[in-house]
Chains A and B, each alone.
Chain A
Amino acid sequence: MTDDVAGVKEAVGAPSQTAWRAVGFVRSIHRLPASLIAGGVITALLMLAALAPSLLAPYDPLTFDYMALLQPPSFKHPFGTDQFGRDMLSRTIWAATIDAQIAVLATLGPLLAGSAIGLLVGYYGGVFDIVFGRLVDLVVTFPFLVLVIAIEAVLGPGLVNMYIAVGVVGWVFYARLMRVEVRVLRDLDYVAAARVLGYGDLRILSRHILPNAARPVFVYWMTDMALAILLGSSLGYLGLGAQPPTAEWGVIISDAKNYISQAWWLTVFPGVAIVIAGIGFSLIGDGLAEFLDVKR
Protein backbone atom coordinates (compact mmCIF):
# COMPACT_ATOMS: atom_id res chain seq x y z
CA MET A 1 0.00 0.00 0.00
CA THR A 2 2.79 2.36 0.91
CA ASP A 3 4.31 1.63 -2.51
CA ASP A 4 1.09 2.65 -4.25
CA VAL A 5 0.97 5.89 -2.35
CA ALA A 6 4.63 6.51 -3.05
CA GLY A 7 4.07 5.87 -6.76
CA VAL A 8 1.16 8.27 -6.95
CA LYS A 9 2.99 10.96 -5.01
CA GLU A 10 6.02 10.60 -7.22
CA ALA A 11 3.84 11.04 -10.30
CA VAL A 12 2.63 14.37 -9.01
CA GLY A 13 6.12 15.43 -8.03
CA ALA A 14 5.83 14.82 -4.29
CA PRO A 15 8.79 13.75 -2.05
CA SER A 16 11.13 11.10 -3.44
CA GLN A 17 11.07 7.42 -2.55
CA THR A 18 13.90 7.85 -0.04
CA ALA A 19 11.96 10.51 1.79
CA TRP A 20 8.97 8.18 1.97
CA ARG A 21 11.17 5.43 3.30
CA ALA A 22 12.28 7.79 6.04
CA VAL A 23 8.66 8.52 6.87
CA GLY A 24 7.95 4.81 6.91
CA PHE A 25 10.85 4.29 9.30
CA VAL A 26 9.56 6.96 11.67
CA ARG A 27 6.09 5.37 11.51
CA SER A 28 7.46 1.93 12.29
CA ILE A 29 9.26 3.40 15.30
CA HIS A 30 5.89 4.67 16.44
CA ARG A 31 4.55 1.15 16.32
CA LEU A 32 7.30 -0.12 18.64
CA PRO A 33 6.32 -0.48 22.29
CA ALA A 34 7.22 2.59 24.33
CA SER A 35 9.20 0.46 26.78
CA LEU A 36 11.40 -0.82 23.95
CA ILE A 37 12.22 2.72 22.83
CA ALA A 38 12.87 3.99 26.37
CA GLY A 39 15.02 0.96 27.16
CA GLY A 40 16.86 1.33 23.87
CA VAL A 41 17.71 4.98 24.58
CA ILE A 42 18.99 4.18 28.10
CA THR A 43 21.04 1.23 26.87
CA ALA A 44 22.45 3.25 23.97
CA LEU A 45 23.61 5.90 26.46
CA LEU A 46 25.18 3.19 28.63
CA MET A 47 27.00 1.76 25.63
CA LEU A 48 28.18 5.23 24.59
CA ALA A 49 29.60 5.77 28.09
CA ALA A 50 31.13 2.29 28.00
CA LEU A 51 32.77 2.63 24.59
CA ALA A 52 33.86 6.27 24.73
CA PRO A 53 34.00 7.33 28.39
CA SER A 54 36.59 10.01 27.65
CA LEU A 55 34.06 11.82 25.43
CA LEU A 56 31.55 12.21 28.23
CA ALA A 57 33.67 12.44 31.38
CA PRO A 58 34.68 16.03 32.26
CA TYR A 59 37.81 14.99 34.22
CA ASP A 60 40.33 12.20 34.33
CA PRO A 61 38.82 9.61 36.69
CA LEU A 62 42.14 8.77 38.34
CA THR A 63 43.61 12.21 39.00
CA PHE A 64 43.88 12.99 42.71
CA ASP A 65 43.04 16.53 43.75
CA TYR A 66 44.05 17.14 47.35
CA MET A 67 42.54 20.62 47.23
CA ALA A 68 39.07 19.18 46.67
CA LEU A 69 38.56 16.17 48.97
CA LEU A 70 35.03 14.87 49.67
CA GLN A 71 33.35 17.86 48.03
CA PRO A 72 29.55 17.68 47.90
CA PRO A 73 27.93 17.98 44.47
CA SER A 74 28.53 21.40 42.97
CA PHE A 75 28.50 23.06 39.57
CA LYS A 76 32.15 22.14 39.10
CA HIS A 77 31.71 18.56 40.28
CA PRO A 78 28.04 17.58 39.67
CA PHE A 79 28.44 14.25 41.50
CA GLY A 80 30.93 15.59 44.08
CA THR A 81 34.43 14.27 44.73
CA ASP A 82 35.72 11.29 46.71
CA GLN A 83 38.26 10.96 49.52
CA PHE A 84 41.11 11.46 47.06
CA GLY A 85 39.49 14.39 45.28
CA ARG A 86 38.62 12.32 42.21
CA ASP A 87 35.62 13.60 40.25
CA MET A 88 32.71 11.24 40.93
CA LEU A 89 30.89 12.01 37.67
CA SER A 90 33.94 10.95 35.69
CA ARG A 91 34.47 7.86 37.85
CA THR A 92 30.82 6.85 37.44
CA ILE A 93 31.03 7.28 33.66
CA TRP A 94 34.30 5.33 33.40
CA ALA A 95 32.86 2.54 35.54
CA ALA A 96 30.20 2.02 32.85
CA THR A 97 32.97 0.37 30.81
CA ILE A 98 33.25 -2.45 33.33
CA ASP A 99 29.56 -2.77 34.10
CA ALA A 100 28.55 -2.90 30.43
CA GLN A 101 31.26 -5.52 29.94
CA ILE A 102 29.75 -7.51 32.83
CA ALA A 103 26.27 -7.31 31.27
CA VAL A 104 27.55 -8.80 28.03
CA LEU A 105 30.31 -11.18 29.10
CA ALA A 106 28.52 -12.68 32.11
CA THR A 107 25.54 -13.61 29.92
CA LEU A 108 27.06 -14.51 26.56
CA GLY A 109 28.51 -17.87 27.66
CA PRO A 110 25.32 -19.03 29.39
CA LEU A 111 23.27 -17.84 26.38
CA LEU A 112 25.26 -19.86 23.87
CA ALA A 113 25.92 -22.96 25.96
CA GLY A 114 22.43 -23.00 27.48
CA SER A 115 20.72 -22.62 24.10
CA ALA A 116 22.79 -25.40 22.56
CA ILE A 117 22.15 -27.78 25.46
CA GLY A 118 18.45 -26.86 25.60
CA LEU A 119 18.19 -27.53 21.88
CA LEU A 120 19.74 -30.98 22.20
CA VAL A 121 17.87 -31.97 25.37
CA GLY A 122 14.55 -30.79 23.95
CA TYR A 123 15.05 -32.51 20.60
CA TYR A 124 16.41 -35.84 21.71
CA GLY A 125 14.76 -36.14 25.15
CA GLY A 126 15.18 -39.53 26.82
CA VAL A 127 18.11 -39.89 29.17
CA PHE A 128 19.23 -36.32 28.52
CA ASP A 129 15.88 -35.11 29.75
CA ILE A 130 16.08 -37.04 33.00
CA VAL A 131 19.62 -35.91 33.77
CA PHE A 132 18.73 -32.35 32.85
CA GLY A 133 15.63 -32.41 35.05
CA ARG A 134 17.73 -33.42 38.07
CA LEU A 135 20.22 -30.70 37.30
CA VAL A 136 17.50 -28.07 37.13
CA ASP A 137 16.15 -29.24 40.49
CA LEU A 138 19.60 -28.85 41.96
CA VAL A 139 20.27 -25.39 40.59
CA VAL A 140 16.83 -24.23 41.67
CA THR A 141 17.45 -25.60 45.16
CA PHE A 142 20.77 -23.83 45.64
CA PRO A 143 20.38 -20.14 46.25
CA PHE A 144 21.89 -18.67 43.06
CA LEU A 145 24.11 -16.19 44.87
CA VAL A 146 25.29 -18.79 47.39
CA LEU A 147 26.25 -21.15 44.57
CA VAL A 148 28.11 -18.42 42.70
CA ILE A 149 29.92 -17.50 45.93
CA ALA A 150 30.78 -21.15 46.60
CA ILE A 151 32.27 -21.52 43.12
CA GLU A 152 34.19 -18.29 43.56
CA ALA A 153 35.56 -19.73 46.77
CA VAL A 154 37.18 -22.42 44.66
CA LEU A 155 38.44 -20.10 41.95
CA GLY A 156 39.26 -17.07 44.07
CA PRO A 157 37.63 -13.62 43.84
CA GLY A 158 37.95 -11.59 40.64
CA LEU A 159 36.12 -10.49 37.53
CA VAL A 160 37.07 -13.40 35.25
CA ASN A 161 36.31 -15.96 37.95
CA MET A 162 32.98 -14.24 38.47
CA TYR A 163 32.16 -14.80 34.77
CA ILE A 164 33.04 -18.46 35.14
CA ALA A 165 31.01 -18.86 38.33
CA VAL A 166 27.96 -17.16 36.83
CA GLY A 167 28.37 -19.19 33.66
CA VAL A 168 28.52 -22.52 35.48
CA VAL A 169 25.11 -21.79 37.01
CA GLY A 170 23.50 -19.43 34.51
CA TRP A 171 23.27 -21.65 31.42
CA VAL A 172 20.61 -23.79 33.10
CA PHE A 173 17.99 -21.04 32.84
CA TYR A 174 18.56 -20.61 29.09
CA ALA A 175 18.56 -24.35 28.52
CA ARG A 176 15.30 -24.72 30.42
CA LEU A 177 13.59 -22.07 28.28
CA MET A 178 14.97 -23.47 25.03
CA ARG A 179 14.01 -27.03 25.94
CA VAL A 180 10.34 -26.14 26.46
CA GLU A 181 10.15 -24.40 23.07
CA VAL A 182 11.93 -27.17 21.21
CA ARG A 183 9.74 -29.88 22.70
CA VAL A 184 6.66 -28.17 21.31
CA LEU A 185 8.21 -27.51 17.92
CA ARG A 186 9.74 -30.92 17.28
CA ASP A 187 6.28 -32.55 17.23
CA LEU A 188 4.81 -30.08 14.73
CA ASP A 189 3.97 -31.18 11.20
CA TYR A 190 6.51 -29.00 9.44
CA VAL A 191 9.35 -30.63 11.36
CA ALA A 192 7.96 -34.08 10.53
CA ALA A 193 7.82 -32.93 6.89
CA ALA A 194 11.44 -31.86 7.01
CA ARG A 195 12.35 -35.27 8.40
CA VAL A 196 10.38 -37.00 5.63
CA LEU A 197 12.34 -34.94 3.13
CA GLY A 198 15.41 -36.66 4.53
CA TYR A 199 17.01 -33.65 6.17
CA GLY A 200 19.57 -34.43 8.86
CA ASP A 201 19.08 -33.56 12.52
CA LEU A 202 21.65 -30.80 12.34
CA ARG A 203 19.86 -29.09 9.48
CA ILE A 204 16.44 -29.46 11.11
CA LEU A 205 17.73 -28.11 14.42
CA SER A 206 19.61 -25.16 12.99
CA ARG A 207 17.35 -24.14 10.11
CA HIS A 208 13.87 -25.16 11.19
CA ILE A 209 13.74 -25.30 14.97
CA LEU A 210 16.27 -22.78 16.28
CA PRO A 211 14.86 -19.72 14.47
CA ASN A 212 11.40 -20.46 15.84
CA ALA A 213 12.51 -21.33 19.35
CA ALA A 214 14.90 -18.40 19.79
CA ARG A 215 12.48 -15.59 20.64
CA PRO A 216 11.77 -16.32 24.34
CA VAL A 217 15.45 -17.06 24.89
CA PHE A 218 16.41 -13.77 23.29
CA VAL A 219 13.91 -11.88 25.44
CA TYR A 220 15.25 -13.60 28.54
CA TRP A 221 18.76 -12.60 27.53
CA MET A 222 17.82 -8.93 27.87
CA THR A 223 16.37 -9.49 31.33
CA ASP A 224 19.43 -11.53 32.24
CA MET A 225 21.73 -8.65 31.29
CA ALA A 226 19.83 -6.50 33.80
CA LEU A 227 20.31 -9.24 36.40
CA ALA A 228 23.99 -9.53 35.48
CA ILE A 229 24.56 -5.85 36.20
CA LEU A 230 22.84 -6.23 39.59
CA LEU A 231 24.78 -9.40 40.40
CA GLY A 232 28.08 -8.03 39.10
CA SER A 233 27.84 -4.84 41.13
CA SER A 234 26.70 -6.78 44.21
CA LEU A 235 29.67 -9.14 43.96
CA GLY A 236 31.89 -6.10 43.35
CA TYR A 237 30.51 -4.60 46.54
CA LEU A 238 31.21 -7.82 48.47
CA GLY A 239 34.77 -7.83 47.09
CA LEU A 240 34.16 -10.92 44.97
CA GLY A 241 33.77 -9.28 41.56
CA ALA A 242 35.91 -6.60 39.96
CA GLN A 243 38.82 -5.78 42.26
CA PRO A 244 39.83 -2.25 43.28
CA PRO A 245 41.33 -0.06 41.87
CA THR A 246 39.15 -1.09 38.90
CA ALA A 247 36.30 1.41 38.83
CA GLU A 248 33.09 -0.60 38.87
CA TRP A 249 29.89 0.81 40.37
CA GLY A 250 29.72 -1.77 43.17
CA VAL A 251 33.43 -1.39 43.91
CA ILE A 252 33.13 2.42 44.01
CA ILE A 253 30.29 2.12 46.52
CA SER A 254 32.29 -0.36 48.56
CA ASP A 255 35.24 2.08 48.57
CA ALA A 256 32.97 4.71 50.08
CA LYS A 257 31.93 2.45 53.00
CA ASN A 258 33.78 4.49 55.61
CA TYR A 259 32.41 7.81 54.41
CA ILE A 260 28.79 6.83 54.32
CA SER A 261 27.60 9.25 57.00
CA GLN A 262 29.64 12.23 55.72
CA ALA A 263 29.47 11.80 51.95
CA TRP A 264 26.20 10.31 50.69
CA TRP A 265 27.05 11.27 47.10
CA LEU A 266 29.76 8.62 46.91
CA THR A 267 27.08 5.96 47.38
CA VAL A 268 24.03 7.48 45.75
CA PHE A 269 25.29 8.38 42.26
CA PRO A 270 26.96 5.09 41.30
CA GLY A 271 23.95 3.30 42.84
CA VAL A 272 21.51 5.28 40.71
CA ALA A 273 23.67 4.41 37.69
CA ILE A 274 23.20 0.70 38.47
CA VAL A 275 19.44 1.14 38.84
CA ILE A 276 19.13 3.07 35.56
CA ALA A 277 21.27 0.58 33.64
CA GLY A 278 19.19 -2.28 35.08
CA ILE A 279 15.93 -0.56 34.15
CA GLY A 280 17.26 0.01 30.62
CA PHE A 281 17.81 -3.69 29.95
CA SER A 282 14.57 -4.71 31.71
CA LEU A 283 12.57 -2.26 29.60
CA ILE A 284 14.12 -3.67 26.43
CA GLY A 285 13.17 -7.14 27.68
CA ASP A 286 9.57 -6.09 28.40
CA GLY A 287 9.29 -4.21 25.12
CA LEU A 288 10.70 -7.09 23.08
CA ALA A 289 8.36 -9.54 24.80
CA GLU A 290 5.45 -7.35 23.76
CA PHE A 291 6.80 -6.73 20.27
CA LEU A 292 7.67 -10.36 19.54
CA ASP A 293 4.54 -11.55 21.31
CA VAL A 294 6.41 -13.72 23.79
CA LYS A 295 4.42 -14.78 26.83
CA ARG A 296 6.50 -14.82 29.97
Chain B
Amino acid sequence: MQIVPTFLLIGVVVFVIARLLPGDPISAMLGDKATDEAVTRLQQQLGLDRPLWVQFWLFVLRVLHGDFGTSIAFHVPVLSLIAERLPATLLLTGMASLIAVTIAVPLAFVAATNANRWPDYLIRAVFQVGLSSPIFFVGLLLLIVFAAELRWFPVGGYGDTWPDRVYHLFLPALTLALSFAAVLMRNLRSAILDTLTAEFVDFARAKGLPRRIVLFRHVLGNALISTVTLVGLQVGVLLGGAVITETVFAVPGVGRLMVDSIFSRDYPLIEALTLVLAVLVSLVFLVTDLVLMWLDPRVAR
Protein backbone atom coordinates (compact mmCIF):
# COMPACT_ATOMS: atom_id res chain seq x y z
CA MET B 1 0.00 0.00 0.00
CA GLN B 2 3.15 2.11 -0.08
CA ILE B 3 2.14 2.66 -3.67
CA VAL B 4 -0.85 4.95 -2.97
CA PRO B 5 1.08 7.95 -1.59
CA THR B 6 3.60 7.48 -4.39
CA PHE B 7 0.80 7.65 -6.96
CA LEU B 8 -0.54 10.78 -5.30
CA LEU B 9 2.90 12.41 -5.36
CA ILE B 10 3.33 11.48 -9.01
CA GLY B 11 0.00 13.17 -9.62
CA VAL B 12 1.12 16.33 -7.81
CA VAL B 13 4.36 16.49 -9.80
CA VAL B 14 2.63 16.01 -13.14
CA PHE B 15 -0.02 18.57 -12.15
CA VAL B 16 2.64 21.10 -11.20
CA ILE B 17 4.58 20.45 -14.40
CA ALA B 18 1.39 20.92 -16.39
CA ARG B 19 0.68 24.27 -14.66
CA LEU B 20 4.24 25.46 -15.28
CA LEU B 21 4.04 24.81 -19.00
CA PRO B 22 4.74 27.95 -21.00
CA GLY B 23 1.82 29.58 -22.80
CA ASP B 24 -1.60 29.08 -21.29
CA PRO B 25 -3.93 26.53 -22.90
CA ILE B 26 -6.60 29.17 -23.56
CA SER B 27 -4.60 31.20 -26.04
CA ALA B 28 -3.32 27.94 -27.53
CA MET B 29 -6.91 26.84 -28.14
CA LEU B 30 -8.52 30.11 -29.18
CA GLY B 31 -5.65 31.97 -30.76
CA ASP B 32 -4.57 35.56 -30.12
CA LYS B 33 -7.66 37.25 -31.49
CA ALA B 34 -10.18 35.71 -29.08
CA THR B 35 -12.71 38.02 -27.40
CA ASP B 36 -12.55 38.47 -23.64
CA GLU B 37 -15.97 36.88 -23.38
CA ALA B 38 -14.84 33.71 -25.15
CA VAL B 39 -11.75 33.51 -22.94
CA THR B 40 -13.81 33.75 -19.74
CA ARG B 41 -16.27 31.16 -20.98
CA LEU B 42 -13.52 28.67 -21.81
CA GLN B 43 -11.81 29.37 -18.49
CA GLN B 44 -15.02 28.46 -16.72
CA GLN B 45 -15.46 25.38 -18.89
CA LEU B 46 -11.94 24.14 -18.07
CA GLY B 47 -12.22 25.16 -14.42
CA LEU B 48 -9.20 27.45 -14.67
CA ASP B 49 -10.95 30.21 -12.68
CA ARG B 50 -11.21 28.00 -9.59
CA PRO B 51 -8.65 27.86 -6.76
CA LEU B 52 -5.60 25.66 -7.37
CA TRP B 53 -6.59 22.92 -4.95
CA VAL B 54 -9.98 22.58 -6.64
CA GLN B 55 -8.18 22.37 -9.96
CA PHE B 56 -5.97 19.64 -8.56
CA TRP B 57 -9.00 17.73 -7.31
CA LEU B 58 -10.66 18.06 -10.72
CA PHE B 59 -7.41 16.85 -12.30
CA VAL B 60 -7.35 13.77 -10.04
CA LEU B 61 -11.00 13.05 -10.86
CA ARG B 62 -10.34 13.40 -14.57
CA VAL B 63 -7.34 11.08 -14.38
CA LEU B 64 -9.27 8.51 -12.36
CA HIS B 65 -11.93 8.58 -15.08
CA GLY B 66 -9.23 8.02 -17.65
CA ASP B 67 -9.83 11.41 -19.24
CA PHE B 68 -6.52 12.96 -20.21
CA GLY B 69 -7.92 15.37 -22.76
CA THR B 70 -7.28 15.56 -26.48
CA SER B 71 -3.91 15.55 -28.15
CA ILE B 72 -3.10 18.91 -29.75
CA ALA B 73 -1.05 17.38 -32.56
CA PHE B 74 -3.12 14.25 -33.35
CA HIS B 75 -6.64 15.53 -32.53
CA VAL B 76 -7.62 12.26 -30.85
CA PRO B 77 -8.14 11.43 -27.17
CA VAL B 78 -4.73 11.14 -25.52
CA LEU B 79 -5.56 7.88 -23.83
CA SER B 80 -6.47 6.03 -27.03
CA LEU B 81 -3.27 7.31 -28.61
CA ILE B 82 -1.22 5.94 -25.73
CA ALA B 83 -3.14 2.66 -25.76
CA GLU B 84 -2.32 2.32 -29.45
CA ARG B 85 1.40 2.94 -28.91
CA LEU B 86 1.93 1.09 -25.63
CA PRO B 87 2.07 -2.50 -27.00
CA ALA B 88 5.19 -1.75 -29.07
CA THR B 89 6.98 -0.40 -26.00
CA LEU B 90 5.90 -3.33 -23.84
CA LEU B 91 7.02 -5.84 -26.47
CA LEU B 92 10.34 -4.02 -26.86
CA THR B 93 11.10 -3.82 -23.15
CA GLY B 94 9.87 -7.39 -22.60
CA MET B 95 12.14 -8.78 -25.32
CA ALA B 96 15.01 -6.62 -24.07
CA SER B 97 14.71 -7.86 -20.46
CA LEU B 98 14.60 -11.45 -21.67
CA ILE B 99 17.74 -11.04 -23.80
CA ALA B 100 19.49 -9.05 -21.07
CA VAL B 101 18.85 -11.71 -18.41
CA THR B 102 20.01 -14.45 -20.78
CA ILE B 103 23.26 -12.56 -21.32
CA ALA B 104 23.85 -11.19 -17.83
CA VAL B 105 23.10 -14.15 -15.53
CA PRO B 106 25.56 -16.68 -17.01
CA LEU B 107 28.29 -14.06 -17.46
CA ALA B 108 27.86 -12.68 -13.93
CA PHE B 109 27.99 -16.26 -12.66
CA VAL B 110 31.21 -17.01 -14.52
CA ALA B 111 32.74 -13.69 -13.42
CA ALA B 112 31.84 -14.17 -9.74
CA THR B 113 32.98 -17.79 -9.51
CA ASN B 114 36.29 -16.77 -11.11
CA ALA B 115 36.59 -13.54 -9.14
CA ASN B 116 39.85 -11.67 -9.80
CA ARG B 117 41.06 -14.13 -12.43
CA TRP B 118 41.21 -13.53 -16.16
CA PRO B 119 37.60 -14.55 -17.08
CA ASP B 120 36.39 -12.07 -14.46
CA TYR B 121 38.65 -9.28 -15.74
CA LEU B 122 37.63 -9.93 -19.34
CA ILE B 123 33.90 -9.94 -18.60
CA ARG B 124 34.17 -6.84 -16.42
CA ALA B 125 36.17 -4.99 -19.07
CA VAL B 126 33.55 -5.78 -21.72
CA PHE B 127 30.75 -4.57 -19.48
CA GLN B 128 32.67 -1.47 -18.46
CA VAL B 129 32.68 -0.56 -22.14
CA GLY B 130 28.98 -1.43 -22.27
CA LEU B 131 28.20 0.84 -19.32
CA SER B 132 30.02 3.72 -21.00
CA SER B 133 28.30 3.33 -24.38
CA PRO B 134 25.24 5.49 -24.90
CA ILE B 135 22.25 3.45 -26.09
CA PHE B 136 21.76 5.47 -29.25
CA PHE B 137 25.34 4.76 -30.31
CA VAL B 138 25.04 1.02 -29.68
CA GLY B 139 21.78 1.08 -31.67
CA LEU B 140 23.35 2.93 -34.57
CA LEU B 141 26.32 0.52 -34.64
CA LEU B 142 23.99 -2.50 -34.79
CA LEU B 143 21.96 -0.68 -37.42
CA ILE B 144 25.03 0.03 -39.56
CA VAL B 145 26.32 -3.54 -39.34
CA PHE B 146 23.19 -5.73 -39.32
CA ALA B 147 20.66 -3.58 -41.16
CA ALA B 148 22.58 -1.33 -43.55
CA GLU B 149 25.54 -3.59 -44.43
CA LEU B 150 24.45 -7.21 -43.91
CA ARG B 151 20.72 -6.49 -44.44
CA TRP B 152 19.71 -9.23 -41.99
CA PHE B 153 17.21 -6.98 -40.25
CA PRO B 154 15.02 -4.03 -41.22
CA VAL B 155 16.38 -0.53 -40.53
CA GLY B 156 13.41 0.24 -38.30
CA GLY B 157 9.67 0.36 -38.02
CA TYR B 158 7.14 -2.14 -36.77
CA GLY B 159 5.30 -5.07 -38.37
CA ASP B 160 1.64 -5.94 -38.82
CA THR B 161 1.65 -9.49 -37.51
CA TRP B 162 3.21 -10.56 -34.19
CA PRO B 163 6.08 -12.63 -35.69
CA ASP B 164 6.85 -9.73 -38.01
CA ARG B 165 6.85 -7.33 -35.06
CA VAL B 166 9.25 -9.52 -33.10
CA TYR B 167 11.50 -9.59 -36.18
CA HIS B 168 11.33 -5.79 -36.53
CA LEU B 169 12.02 -5.26 -32.85
CA PHE B 170 14.93 -7.69 -32.63
CA LEU B 171 17.69 -5.13 -33.22
CA PRO B 172 16.08 -2.47 -30.99
CA ALA B 173 15.58 -5.07 -28.25
CA LEU B 174 19.18 -6.26 -28.59
CA THR B 175 20.36 -2.64 -28.30
CA LEU B 176 18.37 -2.06 -25.16
CA ALA B 177 19.36 -5.47 -23.79
CA LEU B 178 23.10 -4.88 -24.20
CA SER B 179 23.06 -1.73 -22.09
CA PHE B 180 20.61 -3.23 -19.61
CA ALA B 181 22.75 -6.37 -19.32
CA ALA B 182 25.72 -4.20 -18.38
CA VAL B 183 23.75 -2.68 -15.50
CA LEU B 184 22.40 -6.07 -14.38
CA MET B 185 25.73 -7.80 -14.67
CA ARG B 186 27.56 -5.27 -12.52
CA ASN B 187 25.07 -5.67 -9.66
CA LEU B 188 24.59 -9.41 -10.08
CA ARG B 189 28.29 -10.15 -9.88
CA SER B 190 28.58 -8.61 -6.45
CA ALA B 191 25.31 -10.26 -5.33
CA ILE B 192 26.69 -13.67 -6.32
CA LEU B 193 30.02 -12.89 -4.67
CA ASP B 194 28.16 -12.18 -1.43
CA THR B 195 26.26 -15.46 -1.71
CA LEU B 196 29.46 -17.40 -2.32
CA THR B 197 30.74 -16.42 1.13
CA ALA B 198 27.39 -16.95 2.88
CA GLU B 199 27.23 -19.47 5.71
CA PHE B 200 24.65 -21.70 4.07
CA VAL B 201 27.02 -22.21 1.15
CA ASP B 202 29.85 -23.16 3.52
CA PHE B 203 27.44 -25.51 5.26
CA ALA B 204 26.37 -27.15 2.01
CA ARG B 205 30.03 -27.69 1.15
CA ALA B 206 30.78 -28.99 4.64
CA LYS B 207 27.90 -31.41 4.28
CA GLY B 208 29.95 -32.93 1.49
CA LEU B 209 27.94 -31.74 -1.49
CA PRO B 210 30.09 -31.40 -4.60
CA ARG B 211 31.02 -27.84 -5.59
CA ARG B 212 29.07 -28.14 -8.84
CA ILE B 213 25.80 -28.96 -7.04
CA VAL B 214 26.30 -26.20 -4.48
CA LEU B 215 26.97 -23.67 -7.21
CA PHE B 216 23.93 -24.61 -9.25
CA ARG B 217 21.40 -25.30 -6.55
CA HIS B 218 22.32 -22.88 -3.77
CA VAL B 219 24.22 -20.05 -5.38
CA LEU B 220 22.42 -19.84 -8.72
CA GLY B 221 19.03 -20.12 -7.03
CA ASN B 222 19.80 -17.08 -4.91
CA ALA B 223 21.26 -15.27 -7.88
CA LEU B 224 17.97 -15.66 -9.71
CA ILE B 225 16.16 -14.01 -6.82
CA SER B 226 18.60 -11.08 -7.02
CA THR B 227 17.95 -10.95 -10.75
CA VAL B 228 14.21 -10.51 -10.23
CA THR B 229 14.85 -7.72 -7.73
CA LEU B 230 17.29 -6.00 -10.07
CA VAL B 231 15.12 -6.22 -13.17
CA GLY B 232 12.25 -4.77 -11.14
CA LEU B 233 14.30 -1.96 -9.62
CA GLN B 234 15.93 -1.00 -12.90
CA VAL B 235 12.73 -0.89 -14.95
CA GLY B 236 12.98 2.91 -15.00
CA VAL B 237 16.38 2.63 -16.67
CA LEU B 238 14.83 0.22 -19.16
CA LEU B 239 11.97 2.59 -20.01
CA GLY B 240 14.35 5.53 -20.35
CA GLY B 241 16.40 3.40 -22.71
CA ALA B 242 13.26 2.54 -24.65
CA VAL B 243 12.67 6.24 -25.32
CA ILE B 244 16.04 6.45 -27.06
CA THR B 245 15.89 3.06 -28.78
CA GLU B 246 12.46 3.79 -30.22
CA THR B 247 13.74 7.07 -31.62
CA VAL B 248 16.78 5.44 -33.24
CA PHE B 249 14.80 2.60 -34.83
CA ALA B 250 11.58 4.54 -35.54
CA VAL B 251 9.53 2.17 -33.39
CA PRO B 252 5.99 3.53 -32.91
CA GLY B 253 6.02 3.21 -29.11
CA VAL B 254 5.24 5.60 -26.26
CA GLY B 255 8.89 6.64 -25.84
CA ARG B 256 9.15 8.02 -29.34
CA LEU B 257 5.70 9.54 -28.89
CA MET B 258 7.02 11.41 -25.86
CA VAL B 259 10.00 12.87 -27.72
CA ASP B 260 7.75 13.86 -30.63
CA SER B 261 5.22 15.44 -28.30
CA ILE B 262 7.88 17.79 -26.92
CA PHE B 263 8.65 19.17 -30.35
CA SER B 264 4.97 19.55 -31.22
CA ARG B 265 4.36 21.12 -27.77
CA ASP B 266 1.55 18.62 -27.24
CA TYR B 267 1.14 19.31 -23.51
CA PRO B 268 -1.85 17.07 -22.70
CA LEU B 269 0.07 14.21 -24.29
CA ILE B 270 3.29 14.91 -22.34
CA GLU B 271 1.29 15.13 -19.13
CA ALA B 272 -0.46 11.82 -19.72
CA LEU B 273 2.68 10.04 -20.92
CA THR B 274 4.66 11.10 -17.85
CA LEU B 275 1.85 9.85 -15.64
CA VAL B 276 1.41 6.57 -17.51
CA LEU B 277 5.14 5.77 -17.51
CA ALA B 278 5.50 6.56 -13.81
CA VAL B 279 2.48 4.44 -12.94
CA LEU B 280 3.86 1.65 -15.11
CA VAL B 281 7.10 1.68 -13.11
CA SER B 282 5.19 1.62 -9.80
CA LEU B 283 3.17 -1.35 -11.02
CA VAL B 284 6.33 -3.20 -11.97
CA PHE B 285 7.68 -2.49 -8.45
CA LEU B 286 4.49 -3.96 -7.01
CA VAL B 287 4.63 -7.07 -9.22
CA THR B 288 8.31 -7.51 -8.37
CA ASP B 289 7.49 -7.46 -4.66
CA LEU B 290 4.77 -10.06 -5.16
CA VAL B 291 7.00 -12.32 -7.25
CA LEU B 292 9.76 -12.02 -4.64
CA MET B 293 7.38 -13.00 -1.85
CA TRP B 294 6.42 -16.06 -3.84
CA LEU B 295 10.02 -16.97 -4.71
CA ASP B 296 11.64 -16.16 -1.41
CA PRO B 297 9.76 -16.78 1.83
CA ARG B 298 12.28 -14.60 3.70
CA VAL B 299 10.89 -11.52 1.96
CA ALA B 300 7.31 -12.17 3.02
CA ARG B 301 8.26 -12.12 6.66
Contacts and interface: CB of A to CB of B under 8 A. Distances in A.
Contacts, number: 144
Contacts of A271: 133-134, 137, 140-141
A170 to B, nearest CB: 14
A260 B143 contact: yes
Contact of B237 (A144, A154, A226, A264): A144
A130 B84 CA distance: 39
Contacts of B236: 140-144, 146
A239 B235 CA distance: 24
B129 A279 contact: yes
Interface in A237-265: 237-240, 250, 253, 260-261, 264
A145 interface: yes
A233 interface: yes
Report which residue of B9, B137, B238, B243 has the largest number of chain A beta carbons within 10 angstroms of its beta carbon: B137
Contact of A154 (B17, B144, B273): B17
- A interface: dominant SS: helix
Nearest to B135: A234
A5 B103 CA distance: 55
Interface string B211-254: 00000000000000000000000011111110110010000000
A182 interface: no
Given A134-B5, A138-B6, A141-B285, A146 B132 contact: no
Contacts of B258: 146, 149
Contact of A282 (B128, B262, B273): B128
Given A156-B22, A234-B135, A282-B128, A145 B240 contact: yes
A149 B129 contact: no
Contacts of B238: 143
19 contacts: A138-B6, A143-B235, A143-B236, A143-B240, A143-B243, A145-B243, A146-B258, A146-B277, A153-B267, A230-B133, A233-B137, A234-B135, A237-B244, A253-B137, A261-B144, A261-B148, A271-B141, A275-B129, A283-B128
Interface in B260-284: 261-263, 267, 270, 273-274, 277-278, 281-282
Contacts of B13: 138, 142
A267 interface: yes
Interface string A209-232: 000000000000000001000100
B19 to A, nearest CB: 9
A282 B136 CA distance: 19
B20 interface: yes
Interface string B1-37: 0100110011001100100111000000000000000
Main SS at interface, chain B = helix
Interface residues of A, number: 42
B21 A260 contact: no
A150 interface: yes
B6 A150 contact: no
B166 interface: no
Interface in A260-287: 260-261, 264, 267-268, 271, 274-276, 278-279, 282-283
B259 interface: yes
Contact of B270 (A138, A145, A150, A240): A150
B191 interface: no
Contacts of B135: 234
A250 B10 contact: no
Contacts of A144: 236-237, 240
Nearest to B262: A153
Contacts of A267: 137, 140-141, 144
Contact of A137 (B6, B20, B241): B6
Nearest to B244: A234
A152 interface: yes
B176 to A, nearest CB: 12
Given A141-B282, A145-B240, A149-B262, A154 B20 contact: yes
A294 B18 CA distance: 41
Nearest to B243: A145
B295 interface: no
Contact of B136 (A137, A152, A253): A253
A235 B5 CA distance: 31
